[in-house]
C-alpha cells in the first residue's frame, strides 16, 4: 500500500519561497499567476491492513513529525 502526503503552509503564514517563485514566473512572462504557495510532497510504502488503517497511521505521522501543525496543514491520500 502506498500513501502520499501533501504538506502546505496554513493561510496567513508568510511563504517567502512561494513569493519568490511567483516573482520569477512573472519575470518569465506568466503574468496571470498569483497566490503561489509551495509545500512538501512525501511518498511512502506501508504495511497496513486496509486503506482506513493506513490513513489513520499516516495522519498520526503527520501530527507527530511530518508536519508542524503550528504553521502547516496536511492531506493524506492512500493508494492501493
Partner 1 sequence: MKAAVIVFPGSNADRDAAVAVEQSIGAPPKMVWHRDTELPKVDFIVVPGGFSYGDYLRCGAMAAHSPIMREIKRAADKGTRVLGICNGFQIITEAGLLPGVLLRNKDLRFICKDVYLRVEQTKSDFTRRYKSGEVIRIPVAHAEGNFFADDATLQAIEDKGQVAFRYASAAGDVSDETNLNGSRGNIAGIFNEKRTVLGLMPHPERMSDPVLGGADGRKMFDGLVEALS
User: Whole-number minimum distance, CB 52 to partner 1, in Å?
Assistant: 26
Percent helix, percent strand, percent coil in the chain, to nearest 5: 35, 30, 35
User: Whole-number minimum distance, CB 49 to partner 1, in Å?
Assistant: 26
Are 44 and 33 contacting, i.e. CB atoms less than 8 angstroms apart?
no
Residues forming the site for partner 1 (CB under 8 A): 12-14, 16-17, 20, 64-66, 68, 70-71
Are 53 and 24 contacting, i.e. CB atoms less than 8 angstroms apart?
no
Identity of the residue, 12 or 31, whose beta carbon is nearer to partner 1 in the bound complex: 12
Say how far apart CA 55 and CA 35 lie, in whole Å.
29
Identity of the residue, 71 or 79, whose beta carbon is nearer to partner 1 in the bound complex: 71
User: Whole-number minimum distance, CB 80 to partner 1, in Å?
Assistant: 26
Are 69 and 8 contacting, i.e. CB atoms less than 8 angstroms apart?
no
Identity of the residue, 56 or 68, whose beta carbon is nearer to partner 1 in the bound complex: 68
Amino acid at each position: 500500500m502506498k500513501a502520499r502526503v501533501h504538506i502546505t503552509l496554513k493561510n496567513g503564514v508568510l511563504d517567502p519561497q512561494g513569493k519568490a517563485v511567483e516573482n520569477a514566473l512573472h519575470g518569465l512572462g506568466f503574468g496571470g499567476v498569483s497566490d503561489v504557495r509551495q509545500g512538501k510532497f512525501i511518498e511512502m510504502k506501508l504495511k497496513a491492513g486496509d486503506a482506513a488503517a493506513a490513513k489513520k497511521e499516516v495522519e498520526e505521522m503527520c501530527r507527530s513529525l511530518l508536519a508542524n501543525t503550528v504553521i502547516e496543514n496536511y492531506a493524506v491520500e492512500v493508494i492501493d
